[in-house]
Structure 1
Amino acid sequence: MTSSTETFDYVVVGSGSAGGIVASRLSASSKYSVVCLEAGARGSGYIWTKIPATVSFMIDDPRVNWCYKSDASTGPANRALNIPRGKILGGTSAINGMTWVRGQHEDYDHWAQIGNLGWAFQDVLPFFKKIESYPVGDPKLRGHVGPIRVTSGQKITPFYDLFLETARVAGIPGNRDYNGADQEGATIAQAASYKGVRESTANRYLDPATRHNNLEIKKGAEATRLLFEAGRCIGVLYMQGSHERKVLARNEVVVCGGAVNSPKLLEHSGIGDAERLYDLGIDVISHLPGVGENLSDHFTPTMKYQITQSGQSASELMHGWRKYREVLRYVLFRRGFLAQSFGAMRAFFRTREDLTRPDGLMVIAPFMVENFEGGRKISKVPGASFFTHVLRPETRGSIHVTSPDPKQPPAIRERFLETENDKLGAIACFKKVRQLTETNPIASILGAELQPGRQVESDDEILQFILETGQTTYHPVGTCKMGQDRDAVVDERLRVHGVHGLRVADASIMPTITSGNTGLPCMMIGEKCAHMIIEDRERNA
């Protein structure tokens, strides 16, 4: 039984990378009342979300994470993979690695070329700039006064400079700003971090927006079903504790649950493939067979190398007496290992000379991580970890509900390396790491290849290693894709096909994955969505 009903102009489902921005921007005008429903109960004050290096503490913490797992039957080498998604104010922007990557200009030009007018790079650039404050970038391409303050990582050991010089020798040029004119090159990563503290949509958009008396944020409010009347979405049913509540929208509902939870909510609400929904006993509102399809993600193996020269690996900073020094350094100065985002070194590269833009990414951490029962820890063995993957994989998976009960997790069928291009690209990326590690000056300080080991040599052996050990990089996108074709779920203004008063704005609307981390592109989608909503409303007023 529904215990209460409230009405607002706009209902935003999800407070994450896109949703937090949509709610904040819509409430910036006193014209509209806005409610934001966040399933997580914790806010921006949660200690582990503030410290950059404590990301690993939240990877499988059910207090702030949905802790989804993929279906082993379709996974690489029949393995289930962890699919962490933020369940906290700020969503995944509050638990991710904070790496600041737009992707390549061509990613967005491609979206426009396949029918999504208004999504070419020059169209989305103003929204990217609106988000960020990065004072050293080219003002034609970078924002200087946005809410999210962006900084480059610190070189906490000499290994950073060794990597940059080695990349240059190996044919990968340096690049001061991979979010500028060109992505290609080796660099120190930019991060959504300022003075050693995470910048998320929670603390940089929503916390300031709560000063608006027209925005209400409901935490611990899990959306279970969208409500419809005469072909129009009129509100949302949600659970808050043991109470079922209803919130109505005078104007629109905006679903920002992410690539997993947005298709889940749509299907539970009767939007999806009609036959699949009928079989589950869910009444069909709109037959959209593309809901939950087109799942894309990045997939990477971890290659580990011993470091033989003292002072090069960050592992040494986090053991013995040095660990306490690092804690003190962070507490007093917000610097050092704890102030670093994960994988602060990276290289965008081409796996073949005939390519016109990078198709591979290498991420380097100057330490190794060991798994143990109940968690993860930094290895005492001085070493470095290399992660590498193709930037634009072709293989697609799916996400679908398996029960009419919204409490049940969906079936996440991640698929990787099923096309010839994906296989060849993954092998080429692996070999690029080997080429780099065999090049001086970095080769002079590296010892054994600890994982996978030099016994893995042939292409078949390399591919098998990747399939048996690789992990998703936590970049799921595409499950409510934007477009006009049969499998599209939303149009170029993010309106759900076949119904009125409903939009989706998050990673799920990407028709193809962007070239790199997906958190920042999701923020751009949130900014653009809020702009379009206000534009459409004022045009029709």
Structure 2
Amino acid sequence: LFVPMTFVSKKAIHRGIPTYFARGILKEMRNPGSSFMGRTVFEAAGFVKTKFAEGDHPDMQIHTLPWSYPTPNQDADKLHLVDRRPALTVMPSLIYPKSRGELKLASADPFASPLIDPGYLTDPWDTEFLIEGIKMIREVMSHKSIAGDITENFFPGQEWADETALRRELPNRVHSIYHPVGTCRMGVDERAVVDPTLKVHGIEGLRVADASIMPSITGGNTNAPSYMIGEKAAEFIG
């Protein structure tokens, strides 16, 4: 999960609106690689250690986005409006969640949608971590090197300055980073779905080769280990 923290900025030049994206697409079509549409909108990121870090490994990822993020979260069946003011969004991200979700079959019908409960924030530790991340970003954005460019903290604003209010609002502000894993976990125990060669236990001729076989989530983005899983699968099958 990440928490979008949006700061209205005098120096921001991008806009998170349809016309700005359309111009980017046209520019990219005329000259590939010349616009943010040909690269990424997350132009800067980092891995840092919080007070919860164990050992030398960072335990928080920071994403940045050069415009406002839709708010509140995207669970509603509608598109949220994006604030059109020039802004910078910084997202403290939980990369080692302790909460665990659940996926079940709804019926024997293979076309029926499964029952998915992501279980976000069901472990209190995840809330504590994200609150700490928010505090760290607030401290960074108050530094003299950037504070003069910030005219408003859009979220969390003054109405959530109190930590109690922030904790109450947090479930409505967190977003998935779209890196779910583990619903077909690899292993040799009774809870495992696939074996170490990616074969589904009890079914002949079926393998799974994607992020779902990871027993636990990786600290970095899941695309790189997914490439590795695909390459190993090709090796096993070949």
> What is aligned with 1:359?
59
Q: Could you tell me how far apart the structure 1 residues matched to 2:38 and 2:82 are?
A: 16
1:361 to partner: Cα distance: 1.1
Separation in 2, partners of 1:316, 1:421? 32
Computing the radius of gyration over CA atoms, which structure comes out larger, 1 or 2?
A: 1
1:416-451 per-position Cα deviation (integer Å, ceiling 9, x unaligned): 222243222111111122122112322221111111
Overall identity of the aligned pairs, in %: 29
1:308 matched to 2:10? The reply is yes
Instruction: Tell me the residue number matched to 2:42.
Output: 343
C-alpha distance after superposition, 1:357-379 (max 9, x if no partner): 11111111111144799646764
Q: Hey, what's the Cα distance between the residues in 1 that align with 2:50 and 2:129? A: 7
Q: Does structure 2 retain, via aligned residues, the 8 Å contact 1:300–1:466?
A: no
Aligned partner of 2:29 in structure 1 is 331
Give the letter aligned to residue 198 of structure 2: L
- Say if 1:398 and 1:414, in contact at 8 Å, map to a contact too: yes
Alignment deviations for residues 365-418 of structure 1 (CA, whole Å, 9 cap, x no partner): 111144799646764211111222211111111111112222221111111222
Separation of aligned partners in 2, 1:327 and 1:526: 30
CA distance in 2, matches of 1:412, 1:426: 23
Q: What's 1:428 paired with?
A: 132
Higher alpha-carbon deviation: 389-398 or 499-508: 499-508
**In structure 1, what residue type is equivalent to 2:100?**
R
Structure 2 counterpart of 1:418: 122
- Opposite residue 346 of structure 1, the aligned amino acid is A
Alignment partners' CA distance in 2, 1:327 and 1:498: 48
Supply the AA of the counterpart residue of 2:211.
A
**In the alignment, residue 530 of structure 1 is paired with which amino acid?**
A
Spell out, residue by residue over 1:273-313, the C-alpha distance to the aligned partner (whole angstroms, 9 max, x if none): xxxxxxxxxxxxxxxxxxxxxxxxxx22221110124xx33
| CA displacement, residues 253-288 of structure 1 (integer Å, 9 cap, x when unaligned) | xxxxxxxxxxxxxxxxxxxxxxxxxxxxxxxxxxxx
How far 1:462 moved relative to its partner? 2.7
Residues 1:354 and 1:514: Cα distance change in structure 2 (over 3 Å): closer
Q: Gapped runs of 5+ residues in structure 1?
A: 1-298, 535-541
Equivalent in 117, 120, 145 of residue 441 of structure 1: 145
The count of corresponding residues between Structure 1 and Structure 2 is 232
Change (3 A) 1:369 1:428: closer
2:17–2:82 contact (8 Å) kept in structure 1: no
Distance 1:521 1:391 in 2: 15
Q: Judging changes above 3 Å, is the alpha-carbon distance between structure 1 residues 497 and 385 closer, same or farther for their aligned structure 2 residues?
A: same
Equivalent-residue separation in structure 2 for 1:510 and 1:516 (angstroms): 13
Q: CA deviation at 1:317?
A: 9.8
1:319 touches 1:380 (CA, 8 Å); kept in 2? no
1: CA distance between counterparts of 2:7 and 2:160?
14
TM-score (norm 2): 0.85
2:50 match: secondary structure: coil
Q: 1:455 aligns with which of 159, 164, 179?
A: 159
Distance in 1 (CA, whole Å) between partners of 2:18 and 2:107 is 46
Q: Which runs of 5+ in 2 are unaligned?
A: none
Q: 1:440 to 1:339 in 2, by over 3 A?
A: farther
Cα 1:376–1:519 change in 2 (3 A) is farther
| 1:341 match: secondary structure | coil
Alignment of 1:258-277 (within 5 A): none
CA contact (8 A) 2:41 2:66 kept: no
Deviations 1:123-182 (A, max 9, x none): xxxxxxxxxxxxxxxxxxxxxxxxxxxxxxxxxxxxxxxxxxxxxxxxxxxxxxxxxxxx
Q: Distance in 1 between matches of 2:63 and 2:47?
A: 9
User: Superposition RMSD on alpha carbons, in Å?
Assistant: 2.8
Amino acid of the structure 1 residue aligned with 2:38 = A
What per-residue deviation string (whole Å, max 9, x for no partner) do you get for residues 75-100 of structure 1?
xxxxxxxxxxxxxxxxxxxxxxxxxx
Q: Distance in 1 between matches of 2:169 and 2:68?
A: 18
Q: CA deviation at 1:467?
A: 0.8
Distance 1:353 1:425 in 2: 8
Alignment-derived partner of residue 503 in structure 1: 207
Q: Does residue 1:470 correspond to 2:170, yes or no?
A: no
SS of the residue 1:388 aligns to: strand
* Aligned counterparts, 1:24-103, within 5 A: none
Question: Is 1:528 aligned with 2:226?
Answer: no
| TM-score normalised by length of structure 1 | 0.40
8 Å CA contact 2:53–2:59 kept in 1: the answer is no
Distance 1:375 1:390 in 2: 25
Select which of 469, 484, 488 maps to 2:188.
484
